[in-house]
Structure 1
Amino acid sequence: MNQDHHHRLGSDIGLSCLMKTFHYPRTNRMSIALATVWSFADREDGAFAHQLLDDARRLLASDLPGPELSVLWRAGTFGDFDLEACGIEGRQWLTWIEEIAEYRITWNVGNAPAPVDPPPARGLGEAVLGEIALVAQDLESATAGHAYAAVSGVVPALRRVVAEVDPNLGFRLLLRVLKSYSVVIDPERVEAYRALATPLGLEKEVVEDGDFNVRRD
């Protein structure tokens, strides 16, 4: 993890943070989508590009197929930029994100980006998988059954990211989808997410951004 850049970025980082920038009004225009990625990568004099590049490269190096990556993108953005409507799939979209982020970094510092650090220890992956299991039923119901932003297969895709790619990224994507679909969660889950953030190398602001739909009994 590029911690020197990470601590400058606020509540979220990388691909999960990019997803949040795609919001109403919806667009199916590729030119607007690519401009949004470039604007994101340019934040903080290019600091946002580093984690974005790491996330894209990790996913592209994995065995997750394009349709499964499209599922994650649609869920994380609440369908506000529809890859299918533009005639592309997840791997192509991530390749363009990778190219934009890499170019922004090399343009800024004049050399190639540093190699990606290894993912966190396996024990953290098991902890994130446990958190997915606790909300799996509600999350699948909220995403697959939504009236106008329906997407199926979100939970299996999240599990694959955690187990096969990176627990840090899988955790951030879990939080992003929960927030995007306003899935109701218990206060205990928020506490658990706070406890996981630090060992995963994340700022607690990733959890404490006010976007959760917390059950108030």
Structure 2
Amino acid sequence: MTQPDEPYYTMYDDDFGLSGLAGRSGDALPLAGGEMAGDEQAGEDARSLLLSSLSEDMIRTLWLAADGARFDPAARGTTVRSWLVGWSEAYPARPPKPPKSFVKYRSTMFVGPRRPVLVEEEMRDAVLGEIAAVGADLARAVPLPEIVPVLRRAVVEAGPDLGFRLLLRILKAHSVRVDKVRYDRFIELSEPFEYHFVVVHGGLEVDWPPLDPARRDSDWDFGFSELAGRFAHWYDGTVPGVLRQVAAADDVRQSPGSAAAVLLEDVTRLLASPLSTDSLTTLWLAASECGFRPDRFDLDVRQWLEQTAEVCQERLRETAPAYRPEPGPVRADLADDVLRELRDLEPELVSRTIQPHWQGIPGADAARALEQVVSQVDPDLGFRLFLRVLLALGMPLTEERYARYEALGERFGYGEFHVSLVDGYIQSDL
């Protein structure tokens, strides 16, 4: 399978090519002066269909299904193949560009992550499998004959990339709902294609499960620790604006409102905890790298937590009005493991200060506050804040220690990239 010179997600932040064109309203004909309102992938997609053995009627069925029958080239006095030729000529094939180099910093090593190698047969079979799984729903929802066999032909002859995007666009155009398991498979399948997540997520109707703060569907940090991270080196946006962004930052795999629900649970636990105001203040400043000091906005830390809770509740009223927050169980079984890692690193923590030149937070104070969170509030929240403090301190980590953090993160159910926020400080033996 031929891949683009750059990942799709760096080229397009929405659907693209003929599937993206089908998702936009208006004519899909040349504009004044012969210009085309599309992108260069539309030319590639057009050539893929033109080179296939799909008949005029088949391609027309495919397009009308994806476009929701809003624009029909045949109704404009042209054939579908002639229309595709216009796109192919507007965006002719370009010679391949030299491959770009990708580097990722990890301690003193430079690692070049490889882009996925797409195997035509494997990707084709995977897309055909998804079509088979939703085929009955498609046949009922799309008022066009033979849409499922035509879509299958397109995957086989025009390629799984275009076929998958057309499948998604047809599901969206005809409001075909998919369950969460199917949706997760779509997201997983989109990753080797290197799509922006909006290509799958945008406009797709999903039967989301009820909100549950205990679910771990995010690949990254979340909750109060994520809020602290957003305010580290804070320089852009108003405080309420950043707070609302974090409360609305649902991961692509999360039910709408999840970010607010997990943040509200963290904040509620802290407010109800026996931690002193001084400990809460130390905790917030340490995890946020002193990037936002509530007292400079005439707030104490408890007022800041209450303000955070109010924003979360406002978000939940908008996205999940039936949701009723209830305190869930904590992972008390992992408290000793988190405390063991914290105390193992404590001698090094006490020798450091977070933001030492700007009314900094001594590492010893941060360590004490973290121990209190782990033992008196929630080991999960304590471990997430511990990772944030390590990042704030630029703490060097051995590969063995980092591996233990990854294993502990897996036991908490963290996503793939959560613990990796501190991997830049791994000390390698190489």
TM-score, length basis structure 1? 0.88
Counting only pairs closer than 5 Å after superposition, residues 167-182 of structure 1 correspond to structure 2 as: 167-182=379-394
From 88, 91, 102, the equivalent of 2:299 is 88
In structure 2, C-alpha distance between the alignment counterparts of 1:23 and 1:145, rounded to whole Å: 11
**Aligned-partner Cα distance in 1 for 2:230–2:268:** 20
Equivalent residue number for residue 43 of structure 1: 249
Indicate the residue corresponding to 2:337 in structure 1. Answer: 127
User: Which of these residues, 61, 64, 71, is aligned with residue 282 of structure 2?
Assistant: 71
Deviates more, 1:14-23 or 1:43-52: 43-52
Quote the offset at 1:84 in angstroms. Answer: 2.6
Aligned with 2:315: secondary structure?
A: helix
- Cα deviation, residue 203, structure 1: 2.4
What is the SS of the residue equivalent to 2:402? helix
Instruction: Report the Cα offset of residue 3 of structure 1.
Output: 4.1
Residue of 169, 176, 187 corresponding to 2:399: 187
In structure 2, how many angstroms separate the alpha carbons of the residues matched to 1:145 and 1:209? Answer: 19
Paired letter, 1:216: S
The answer to whether the Cα contact below 8 Å between 1:13 and 1:52 also exists between their aligned partners in 2 is: yes
Runs of 4+ in 1 over 4 A off after TM superposition: none
1 or 2 for the larger relative contact order (CA 8 Å, sep ≥6)? Answer: 1
Residues 179, 212 of structure 1: 8 Å contact kept? no
- Retained in 1: the 8 A contact 2:269–2:377? yes
Match of 2:360 among 147, 150, 172: 150
Aligned counterpart for 2:227 among listed residues 8, 18, 39:
18
- Aligned twin of 1:108: 319
- C-alpha distance in structure 1 between counterparts of 2:234 and 2:334, whole Å: 37
Change (3 A) 1:119 1:212: farther
Identity %: 29
> In 2, distance between residues paired with 1:21 and 1:76?
10
The alpha carbon displacement at 1:211 in A equals 4.8
1:209 counterpart = 2:421? yes
The answer (yes or no) to whether the contact 2:213–2:258 under 8 Å persists in 1 is no
Structure 1 Cα separation of the partners of residues 355 and 264 of structure 2:
32
Aligned match of 1:138 in 338, 348, 352? Answer: 348
The answer on whether the counterparts of 2:261 and 2:316 sit within 8 Å (CA) in structure 1 is: yes
Measured against aligned partners, the alpha-carbon deviations of 1:36-55 in whole angstroms (never above 9, x if no partner) come to 11111112343311110110
Task: State the Cα distance separating 1:204 from its structure 2 match.
Answer: 4.2
8 Å CA contact 2:214–2:328 kept in 1: the answer is no
Structure 1 residue identity aligned to 2:368: P
| Equivalent pair of 1:178/1:212 in contact (CA under 8 Å) | no
Long gaps (5+) in structure 2: 1-211, 251-255
Q: Size of the alignment, in residue pairs?
A: 211
| Contact residue 233 and residue 289 of structure 2 kept, 8 A | no
Deviations, residues 111-163 of structure 1 (Å, cap 9, x unaligned): 24331211013x31011000000111222322268233611311110000000
Matches of 2:351 and 2:262, distance apart in 1: 30
- Residues 99 and 145 (structure 1), Cα distance of their counterparts in 2 relative to 1, 3 Å cut: closer
Q: Is the Cα–Cα contact under 8 Å of residues 338 and 374 in structure 2 kept in the other structure?
A: yes
- TM (normalized to structure 2)? 0.46
Q: How far did 1:57 drift?
A: 0.6
Q: Any conservation in 2 of the 1:37–1:97 contact (CA below 8 Å)?
A: yes
Alpha-carbon separation, structure 2, partners of 1:190 and 1:76: 19
More helix by share: 1
Match of 1:58 in 2: 269
Q: What is the alpha-carbon distance in structure 1 between the residues aligned to residue 235 and residue 381 of structure 2?
A: 25
Q: Radius of gyration: which is bigger?
A: 2
Q: Distance in 2 between matches of 1:17 and 1:104?
A: 17
Deviation, structure 1 residue 88: 2.2
1:164 pairs with one of 357, 373, 376: 376
Structure 1's unaligned 5+ residue stretches are none
Q: State the secondary structure of the residue aligned to 1:141.
A: coil
RMSD: 2.1
**Cα distance between partner residues in 2 of 1:15 and 1:214:** 25
- Call closer, same or farther: CA 1:147–1:216 in 2, change over 3 Å: farther
Q: Secondary structure at the match of 1:115?
A: coil
Larger deviation: 72-81 or 41-50?
41-50
> Using the alignment, how far apart are the partners of 1:112 and 1:65 within structure 2?
30
